[in-house]
């Protein structure tokens, strides 16, 4: 295990200790602030009862579909905005303005357009993630040093070859960073959709816990979301981004 991973694990353990200390020192009933042990017990019960595995699979399936569509479209749109000033001024301006809208604001429109179904949730995930990825990729394309471009052109690189051999590799670290940011936005949008109406998934687990006044179950769902987010961010995209930056000489 790397030193950075050990430091992260130690920090998370310390925060759990602070949580337990606050629980001991304060007059917090379980329906207001459950202890970490109570939350872990709820996670265990959910796993043994099959509720959490089913909820995780349901949410991850929605997330993979929505995030995949938004990422593919966002990367292509970001590259297009980086290449075309007209596209950047038109679509880029619109996306920048829409970024100020929280993902939950799209849910009423999604329900009116698609009804209470999977398409409404997927629409919210896609619309909340696409703009974030596209704008970050655009910035990565525009951030390619002009010296690199002049050097490539002086060696005969033009048109598609310039993009394929110079610009796209140069924007890869920024693209991976954009995908990491988009992942967090996709999670937030998905939970907003699942919490708004009962549709399975981790959002339903937290919704049922709220209705039953079962705060350990609510926080168990939150804990699972945090763990899945950390695993994906540091275990997949984080590793790819670090390796890419090292290969490109952007990190030690």
Report d(CA 62, CA 59) in Å as an integer: 5
Task: Spell out the alpha helix ranges (H) of 88-214.
Answer: 93-98, 107-114, 118-142, 146-154, 159-162, 168-196, 201-211
Task: With a cut of 70, say whether residue 251 has pLDDT above it.
Answer: no
**Considering the domain 56-196 in this protein, what is its CATH number?**
1.10.3720.10
pLDDT digits (tens, 9 = 90+) for 167-190: 777 787 778 888 888 888 888 888
What pTM did the predictor assign?
Answer: 0.79
pLDDT digits (tens, 9 = 90+) for 81-94: 887 888 888 888 88
């Amino acid at each position: 295990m790397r030193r950075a991973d050990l430091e992260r694990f130690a920090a998370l353990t310390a925060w759990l200790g602070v949580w337990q200390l606050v629980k001991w020192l304060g007059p917090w009933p379980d329906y207001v602030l459950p202890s970490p042990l109570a939350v872990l017990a709820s996670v265990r019960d959910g796993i043994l009862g099959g509720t959490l595995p089913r909820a995780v699979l349901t949410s991850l399936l929605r997330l993979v579909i929505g995030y995949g569509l938004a990422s593919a479209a966002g990367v292509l749109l970001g590259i297009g905005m980086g290449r075309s000033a007209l596209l950047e001024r038109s679509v880029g301006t619109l996306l920048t303005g829409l970024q100020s809208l929280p993902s939950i604001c799209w849910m009423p429109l999604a329900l009116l357009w698609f009804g209470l179904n999977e398409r409404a949730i997927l629409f919210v995930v896609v619309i909340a993630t696409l703009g974030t990825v596209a704008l970050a990729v655009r910035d990565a394309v525009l951030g390619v040093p002009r010296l690199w471009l002049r050097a490539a052109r002086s060696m005969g690189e033009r048109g598609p070859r310039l993009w394929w051999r110079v610009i796209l590799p140069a924007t890869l670290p920024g693209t991976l960073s954009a995908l990491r940011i988009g992942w967090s936005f996709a999670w937030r949008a998905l939970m907003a959709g699942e919490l708004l109406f009962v549709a399975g998934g981790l959002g339903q687990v937290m919704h049922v816990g709220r209705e039953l006044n079962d705060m350990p179950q609510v926080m168990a769902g939150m804990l699972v979301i945090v763990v899945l987010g950390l695993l994906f961010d540091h275990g997949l995209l984080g590793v790819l981004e670090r390796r890419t930056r090292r290969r490109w000489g952007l990190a030690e």
